[in-house]
Structures are given as C-alpha cells and as structure tokens.
Chains A and B, each alone.
Chain A
Amino acid sequence: MTPPAVLVVGAGPAGLSAAHELARSGVGPVVVAERESAAGGVPRHCDHTGFGLQDLRRPLSGPAYARLLARRAEGAGARILLRTTVADVDQDGAVTLIGPDGITTVRPRAVLLATGARERPRAARLVPGDRPAGVFTTGQLQQWVLLRDLPVGRRAVVVGAEHVAYSAVLTLRRAGVATVAMVTDLPRHQTVPVFATVTRVGLRVPLRTSSRVVGLHGTGRLEAVDVEDLVTGGVDRLEADTVVFTGDWVPDHDLARRSGVALDRSTRGPRTDVAGRTTRPGVLAAGNLVHPGETAGLAALAGRETARRLATTWSDRPDSPSPGAASGLAVGVSGALRSVVPALVDPADPPHRLLLRTGTFGPGRLVVARQGGAVVGSHRLRHATPHRSLSVPGTLVAAADPAAGPLELSLI
C-alpha cells in the first residue's frame, strides 16, 4: 500500500467527512479503515430522515446519508478499506491493520481516530437480576431490525428519554413491538417537545419520570422489568419480553487509550484541542469519540474542522510534519455543567463551537466563561436539557488571556 499521509480510523460521519476534506485539500493519500463491511457508521442503520441538515444542508435518511458521505470521500480521492480493523497504533507510529487479506502495517504522518461511541449496556449500568435474552441497546436493536430483519419480541420497556430513546420506540414499532413504558431517572423527558408528545399521546407510550429499572426477570427470555419510582420508592413489575437501554453514551476509546492518548475525566473521550490534536503527537481525534452522543451532523462538522485545520497547517509546511500534541488554555466546567469539548482552546483562534453537556435542567440558560473569577464571555442557550447537545459559539472564549489560568464554564 502507498503510505498514506493520513490514516482515518472509522468510516462514520466524522471519519468520512474528514477524509473528504483532506482528500480535497490534496494533502496526499488518505486512507479510511472501517471494520464493518459497509461505510457510514451508525447512520447506516438509522432509517429515518433528518440526517445531513447540519453539515450538508439537506435532509436525508440515515442510510442515504451514509452512502453519500462515503461517495463524497471516495469521489475526492480517499480510499476506504472495508472489513479492516485498526488493531494498534504503536509508540513508533506503526499502525496495524487486520482484514481478510491479512495483517499489514502502515506508517502515516497522522492518524485520525473517529471510532465513535456506544450506548452503555445493561451490565455497565449495574442493573441487577437475571440474565435473560431480549436485552438490547438501540444500536443493536436498529441493526437487528434494519440490517438483519431479525425478530425482536412483543412488549418492550425503553430505558431513557433522550432523542435516541424515541428513535428506539419507532424502531420497535416498525418491528411490531409495543412499547409499554419509557423510563427516565430525570423529572422530564430530554428530547424536543414534539417527539415527546407524539410518542406519549399519539403512540400512547407512557413515560415514567423520576424512575429507574432495578431488576430484570426471566430464565430464558425476559419476562418482566422492575421499575422503581424514585420519589415514592414503590416498585412496579412490568411484563415485557424486550428491554432497550438507550443513550448514556460511552466513547469507544479502547484504541485511543491503547495508543497512549490521555482521556478527559468527564467525557471519557480523548482530551483534544481545537485542531483535534490529542496528548499524543501524530494522533488526532474527532466525532463521537471525543464528544459522545452528539448528532451525526455535529460529528461530521467536527471531522471536517479537524481535517481543515490539519490541511491548513500542511499547506504552510511542504514537509507536512506529523502533528504535535494538543496545546492551549484548559477549559473546565463547574456546577450543573458536566463536560466541554474541546478541552484546550486558543483564544486567538477559537473553535467554531464549544460543545457542552449539563447534568440538570437549568438552573438557568446563561453559559458564563470565567478566568480567575473574572467573566470573559457569556452566551444564552435556547434550552439547558441533560443528555442533549448544547452548543455555544467558540467566540465565548475569544476574550480570554492565553497566558492566564484555566477557563471555567458554568450555567447560571
């Protein structure tokens, strides 16, 4: 194989958008390694519309969006290797690829990790009880129904009430499964009001707020789900043969960690700067790996921004040096805010946007950036909903002093 200038790991929206941008900029050979048999990442099995609005400015179904992103990347000259797992990124920069043709080693000048995120499964949520069949995450359910046409069950409980939980209800419906309840530990749903209303009123799916699943029962197949009301302490046993654990994202950071990339304590994804650089020189990261649970469009835009910044650096430097380690002013969060991406910023060259997460509804909607106690910027959000994407313009940090102490964002 001709040594790639950039090896992109993962052909989801982030990886494909980055590959498209890099190939278009003429940085040299761009190779995308994807372990599945088709490119596109998660949208491949999200068969509803709304994809592409943020990045391509047109509405597409998930599969159509996935195909288009792959075609655009290839059209610009990127090469996509399917059924190809990136197994290791060694300390000396050698990258091991495994596929049906064998095991190969490449030495790209830069590696871009775009390995995505997954939903936290049942055991990781410490839900006790039996270990019956019929326990899903939304990602698994969607592949089950849309890619493989496998039978699901009859009666489901959906755990979670963020966007993806509502998407799970639709997939279940399509598979002929009735959702008997949605369960969230928060006092309200966390999606757009219209989805919540249509599901509750139109599809007659009750939402149990301030509740959590405390047990699964069933010797072979799932038979019942115990749901505890966190206010009264009462436990109801709901008959169901299917339970779907939705949202509660975990970055797929295994390769990143094994490559020696440091993680952010709050996102558990790589700590990156505005250029997508990680703590390890030569290794970049973008998309859901860095900020899990965003929309596909935002993941795509993040991939594009990372690629653009790398291409710009290289256009100034004919020797295309391997990117250095992440640098900049550290940004942290306090109070209700749970995380911010990127973790390092340059006030002189702010990112397009900062992506935030809050743990509670409110207190208010004003995001304030402080440096050493002094306010350097603020921005009013349209909503402050847990588990939902909160995006503020990068200019929020433009007035910070690069030489002074770290920035802290809070919600008031």
Chain B
Amino acid sequence: MIAADRHGYDVAVVGAGVVGCAIARRLTLDGASVVVLDRAPDVGDGTSKANTAILHTGFDTVPGTLESRLVARGHRLLADYAESTGIAVERTGALLVAWDDEQEAALPGLLARAEANGYGDALLVDAAEVRRGEPHLGPGARAGLLVPGEWVVDPWSVSLAFATEAVTAGAELRLSTPVTGVDRSGGGHEVRVPGGVIRARWLVNAAGLGADLVDRMLDRADFTVTPRRGQLLVFDKAARTLLTHILLPVPTERSKGVLVSPTTWGNVLLGPTAEDLDDRTDTATTTAGLELLLGAGGRILPALVDEEVTAAYAGLRAATEHRDYQIRCHPDLAYVTVGGIRSTGLTASPAIAEHVAGLLSDAGARWEGVPVAPTPPTMPPLGENQVRPMRDPVRIASDPDYGTALCHCEQVSRGEVRDACRSLVPATGLGGVRRRTRAMNGRCQGFWCGAEVVATVAEETGTDPAVLTRTTA
C-alpha cells in the first residue's frame, strides 16, 4: 500500500502538466493535502513542454465561453506570478498581418471580437504602420491588428514553479506513476498505480490528452480527445533581430495560418501546423509539415529561412468535440474533470486552478489543513533579457561554478546544471536538465557540450549514463 495513511489525501490530481501543477498549488495553499500523479518522469513533460509559449489575452476566443473568461484572467494571474517568481516574460505584443482581401476584411471583426472579450487595447493599423513596425516582413502585407497584450513567456518554468510551490507547501509529487484505474471506496477513491493504490477523498482529472481515458475509469464519458498535432521549428538566435512582435496569422474560413514568434530564450518560433490524429503519442515531425512551415515562414519573413534551424518539435493539443473547455464537477463522484484544455492552457492554468478550487468548495469539499500564504519560488533566470548567472559577477564571485561554462551556445554554467539536479523538483534526466537550464538546447545540439553535460548530469544525479541516454526525457 503506497498511501501516506489509511485515510489518504484530500485530493489526488492526475496529471502534472501545467494545469495539474497549477491546481495542486492552489489546493495545497488552500489547506488541502494533495498528491499529484503523472506517468511521465518530470512535471510538464506532455503538451505543456511543446507549445508556442504565448501569454494570450484571449482577444480571439469565443465570447461568453469559459475559455474566454479563464484565459483573460489567467493572463493577469500568470503575468503577476511570473513577476514574483522571476519567470521570463517579454512584452512583445502581437501583430496580426493581413496578406489578402479576405484577411483584411476579417480584421474589423476580430477587433470587435476582442472588445466582446473585454479586451480594449487592440488597434487596427495600416500597411505603412505594419511595415514600419516590422520592416523584415515579406512583400504584400495589407494591414494589421495590433494586440499589445500578447506576450511570450518561458513555458517550462511555469509548470516547474507551480510544482515547486506546491511541494514547498506540502504537496506530494509522484512521477513515473501511471494511473491505471480508479475504484470508489467509502465516499473516496482508490487510485490504482503500479504496486498499489493511493487513497484520496477527491479526484481531479488533469490528464490532458488522457483526460477522457481517466474519465472512463470513473464510468464517465463527458468528451473524447482527438489529438491535434502542431509541428514547430525553432530558428537560430541570429534570427531574433528580424521581428519585434509575435506575428500572428489572420484566421479565415479557409485556413488558420501559422505564426512567427520570438521566444524568451532569444530564438524565433515558426508554426504550428494543425493535424488531427488518432495516436495520442505521435509527436513526430513530418516532411510535409516542415515543408509547409518553411513555405509559410518564407512568405511572412523571407530572411528567416536563411537562418539555421535549431530544433524541430511537435505538440499535441487535447481537442475534443466541444468548442469550449470541459471543466465539470461531479459532487456525487467526488470528482472534477478538467478536459479539452486545447491551445490556451498555459495561459489559463492559474485561472483554471482558481475555478476548480471554487467548484470543489461549492461542492462542499473541506480540507484537513489551514490555508497557507503563497511562497512563490525564485526560478532560475532563463530569459535572454534577464541577467543569466554567467553574466552576473556577484553570482560568480559567490560560486565559481556559475562562471564555468558547460553549454556554450546557450551560455549555461556548471553551477546551473548542478542546481537543476538538486532542486526541490529535481531534474532526473537530460530533458529535465534542458528545461531547467537550456543546456544543449542551442544551435550545436551537443556538438561541443553533449558529452560534458551528460557526464555532469550522470555524476550529479548518480545515474548510469547508459540509463540517462536511453531516452530524451
């Protein structure tokens, strides 16, 4: 039996993506005893690690939906949280660029929709202003819509910060722990995991792409997830000077288009594609996908495609048959399902957590402990616009490991890799080190530093290098 005690936890959260971590943090701060379960070896290892990292205003959501409300609220909450934890945010603003009649004609409607969503700062701009703002755009830009509140955020640190704060406040994090079934017992749940069961009074399903499968474990069938794949290309930092705003496409009946966006690490993102799949694990890139992106990127920002590609990846949106988030409380089952968090969940996560806490409270859930004050953790400065340890004389003087480069392309010091392996929610593998430090994420992809980083991580984590290099996780 794995459970902490016979009565178990107040809440078991299935899924340690950004949504599950945000919920775990919120409920733990509210006084609940919480266990978070994820089959992956790290937090934020699913869709939460593979998105476009935009802090959305919700200007283009469907007015009146739960998504519209939670994205707008999430934007404020996450921006504040990033500020208090030191998570990198760049206030770039977004520019929707219209390239043809149809797109140009759609702009006033988008402006009206932004206003209907309570976002009042969007602004129509003419061709000359578009060109002035973004001189590297390809020929043919007709007009634009400026959305100053769309920003970019470091997506990996968000799940990590929520998880770190939850663990600090007493939550238990169980990774590499797949949930295989749920049994009802005495008003609570017995959550089946390899080697035993975990008892909890309430269950929160934040299983992302697997949320409908967990739903079935409770004999519910609120929705079905259809993964919608988004392939993305990350371009070399040399491309960063080519744009100022997030360049968003104007969605029309015929196509959604792709975006070009700065990242907080100083790169440029191009994507995503939108492909409906059956396989919930297929995060492969394809020839057709990459060709589509390069074609579109070359039209939007011709000089972009002359630069080297640093990385290619794909994320899966947890789309459902519904147009809105599927967040439902079933008090009779002591169960909340948080599904269909498709393409805005990074932004909305803290607002989703607040909403879920409210649903639980309304359903009469009461927690064992007393509420505790938030203690936002200080996250490593990973943003290109932040003072990185190797640029910080005080840090280096305090510990020469912060001045000893390990990953040269991303300027990551030995001290940061060490810290990542020893933190409260530590990296256990190379993927975890990449997300906590940026090591090996640069243009050389390990040509210079790969062996050195692997040897260092093996030593710091006490893991056999043969095991470390069995996966990229």
Contact check, B281 vs A98: say whether CB atoms are below 8 A apart.
no
Contact of B313 among A83, A102, A131, A137 (CB under 8 A): A131
Which residues of chain B have C-beta atoms less than 8 A from A107's C-beta?
none
Does any Cβ of B come within 8 Å of A250's Cβ? Answer: yes
Contact check, A150 vs B403: say whether CB atoms are below 8 A apart.
no
Contact check, B445 vs A123: say whether CB atoms are below 8 A apart.
yes
Contact of A143 among B287, B393, B452 (CB under 8 A): B452
Which residues of chain B have C-beta atoms less than 8 A from A151's C-beta?
465-466, 469
Which residues of chain B have C-beta atoms less than 8 A from A147's C-beta?
451-452
Which parts of A247-288 form the interface with B (CB within 8 Å)? 250, 252, 254, 257
Contact check, B396 vs A132: say whether CB atoms are below 8 A apart.
no
Contact check, A98 vs B391: say whether CB atoms are below 8 A apart.
yes
Contact check, A254 vs B409: say whether CB atoms are below 8 A apart.
yes
Give the Cβ gap from B221 to chain A, nearest Cβ, in Å: 28
Contact check, B470 vs A122: say whether CB atoms are below 8 A apart.
no
Q: Looking across the interface, which residue of chain A has its beta carbon closest to that of B465?
A: A150
Contact check, A220 vs B473: say whether CB atoms are below 8 A apart.
yes
Contact check, A137 vs B401: say whether CB atoms are below 8 A apart.
no
Contact check, B404 vs A100: say whether CB atoms are below 8 A apart.
yes
Which residues of chain A have C-beta atoms less than 8 A from B469's C-beta?
133-134, 150-151, 221
Contact check, A148 vs B400: say whether CB atoms are below 8 A apart.
no
Does any Cβ of A come within 8 Å of B257's Cβ? Answer: no
Does any Cβ of A come within 8 Å of B423's Cβ? Answer: no
Does any Cβ of A come within 8 Å of B390's Cβ? Answer: yes
Does any Cβ of B come within 8 Å of A121's Cβ? Answer: yes
A144 to B312 Cα, complex, angstroms: 24
Does any Cβ of B come within 8 Å of A394's Cβ? Answer: no
Contact check, B443 vs A254: say whether CB atoms are below 8 A apart.
yes
Which residues of chain B have C-beta atoms less than 8 A from A379's C-beta?
none
Which residues of chain A have C-beta atoms less than 8 A from B238's C-beta?
254, 257
A99 to B352 Cα, complex, angstroms: 44
Does any Cβ of A come within 8 Å of B472's Cβ? Answer: yes
Does any Cβ of A come within 8 Å of B471's Cβ? Answer: yes
Q: Looking across the interface, which residue of chain A has its beta carbon closest to that of B394?
A: A102
Does any Cβ of B come within 8 Å of A231's Cβ? Answer: no
Q: Looking across the interface, which residue of chain A has its beta carbon closest to that of B399?
A: A100
A129 to B282 Cα, complex, angstroms: 9
Contact check, A126 vs B312: say whether CB atoms are below 8 A apart.
yes
Give the Cβ gap from A147 to chain B, nearest Cβ, in Å: 6
A120 to B443 Cα, complex, angstroms: 9
Does any Cβ of A come within 8 Å of B128's Cβ? Answer: no
Does any Cβ of B come within 8 Å of A130's Cβ? Answer: yes
A254 to B266 Cα, complex, angstroms: 13
Which residues of chain A have C-beta atoms less than 8 A from B310's C-beta?
123-124
Give the Cβ gap from A298 to chain B, nearest Cβ, in Å: 20
Q: Looking across the interface, which residue of chain A has its beta carbon closest to that of B450?
A: A140
Q: Range of interface residues on chain B?
A: 35 or more
Question: Chain A 198-226, CB within 8 Å of chain B: the 1/0 string?
Answer: 00000000000000001101011100000
Which residues of chain A have C-beta atoms less than 8 A from B445's C-beta?
121-124, 137
A131 to B440 Cα, complex, angstroms: 14
A273 to B397 Cα, complex, angstroms: 41
Which parts of A89-134 form the interface with B (CB within 8 Å)? 98-103, 118-124, 126, 128-134
Which residues of chain A have C-beta atoms less than 8 A from B309's C-beta?
123-124, 126
Does any Cβ of A come within 8 Å of B168's Cβ? Answer: no
On whether A143 and B397 interact (CB within 8 A), knowing A85-B411, A102-B403, the answer reads: no
Which residues of chain A have C-beta atoms less than 8 A from B466's C-beta?
151
Does any Cβ of A come within 8 Å of B444's Cβ? Answer: yes
Question: Chain B 459-473, CB within 8 Å of chain A: the 1/0 string?
Answer: 000000110011111
Contact check, A214 vs B447: say whether CB atoms are below 8 A apart.
no
A124 to B396 Cα, complex, angstroms: 33
Does any Cβ of A come within 8 Å of B385's Cβ? Answer: no
Give the Cβ gap from B311 to chain A, nearest Cβ, in Å: 5
A403 to B312 Cα, complex, angstroms: 48
Contact of B470 among A103, A143, A214, A220 (CB under 8 A): A220
Which residues of chain A have C-beta atoms less than 8 A from B444's C-beta?
118, 121, 137, 252
Which residues of chain B have C-beta atoms less than 8 A from A291's C-beta?
none
Which residues of chain B have C-beta atoms less than 8 A from A131's C-beta?
283, 313, 472
On whether A143 and B450 interact (CB within 8 A), knowing A98-B405, A129-B285, A131-B283, the answer reads: yes
Does any Cβ of B come within 8 Å of A35's Cβ? Answer: yes
Q: Looking across the interface, which residue of chain B has its beta carbon closest to that of A140?
A: B450
Which residues of chain A have C-beta atoms less than 8 A from B396's C-beta?
98, 100-103
Contact of B447 among A85, A103, A139 (CB under 8 A): A139
Contact check, B400 vs A100: say whether CB atoms are below 8 A apart.
yes
A179 to B403 Cα, complex, angstroms: 39
Which residues of chain B have C-beta atoms less than 8 A from A217's C-beta?
284
Give the Cβ gap from A85 to chain B, nearest Cβ, in Å: 5
Contact of B448 among A98, A118, A124, A136 (CB under 8 A): A118
Does any Cβ of A come within 8 Å of B286's Cβ? Answer: yes
Contact check, A150 vs B290: say whether CB atoms are below 8 A apart.
no
Contact check, A98 vs B308: say whether CB atoms are below 8 A apart.
no
Give the Cβ gap from A177 to chain B, nearest Cβ, in Å: 13
Which parts of B290-307 form the interface with A (CB within 8 Å)? 290, 294
* Most B C-beta atoms less than 10 A away, residue of A121, A144, A217, A220: A121
Give the Cβ gap from B235 to chain A, nearest Cβ, in Å: 10
Which residues of chain A have C-beta atoms less than 8 A from B312's C-beta?
123, 126, 128
Does any Cβ of A come within 8 Å of B455's Cβ? Answer: yes
Contact check, B470 vs A124: say whether CB atoms are below 8 A apart.
no
Contact check, B451 vs A103: say whether CB atoms are below 8 A apart.
no
Does any Cβ of A come within 8 Å of B91's Cβ? Answer: no
Contact of B390 among A85, A129, A250 (CB under 8 A): A85
Which parts of B193-238 form the interface with A (CB within 8 Å)? 234, 237-238
Q: Which 3 A-B pairs have the closest CB atoms?
A: A220-B471, A100-B400, A121-B445
Q: List 17 A-B contacts (CB under 8 A).
A: A83-B404, A83-B405, A85-B411, A87-B411, A100-B400, A102-B403, A103-B403, A123-B234, A124-B308, A124-B310, A124-B445, A128-B290, A134-B469, A136-B446, A137-B446, A140-B450, A151-B469
